Amino acid sequence: MIKISIGDKSVFAELFEKQSPLSTQVFKSALPLTTKLRSHSNWSGRCSTFDLPGAGELTALESAVCSLYPGYLALRPDQGVIEIGYDAAELRSELGREYGSLIGRLIGDSVDEFLAYLDAMHYTEGDQILTITQED
């Protein structure tokens, strides 16, 4: 399990290690991570993105998805980012529909509040500092 925090707001996430073992390993190897969370994806719609060191090492997708639902995380090796859906989104670029590896989902009582903050963040605070830690 991992903990994702923006300021005083935190949520936990479970990783899909059986479905996406290589992708989740690259993600976990970058932890602890402090990075800029971009408040809104330019192409994919209602999701936030952050850079993931080492993501470009992956050469294949696992559990490939193009749709990203609220509370789910997808790794985009081609872009070197992870996207967190806060409403319905589709992985896209200037070339059109793209795919990523589904690597996890937010869990716990504070998920709805956290997703609402991500949605509002786009209009109010803009980009924020994101901290992710391993919480096993």
Q: Which of 31, 6, 5, 28 is CA-nearest to residue 15?
A: 28
- The CATH number of residue 43's host domain is 2.40.100.20
Domain count along the chain: 1
Strand 45-51 relative to strand 64-65, pairing: unpaired
Q: Which domain holds residue 109?
A: 2-134
The token pair that represents 61 in the structure block: 């997708």
pLDDT in tens, the chain (136 residues): 999 999 999 999 999 999 999 999 999 999 999 999 987 666 677 899 999 999 989 999 999 999 999 999 999 998 999 999 999 899 988 888 999 999 999 999 999 999 999 999 878 888 999 999 998 7
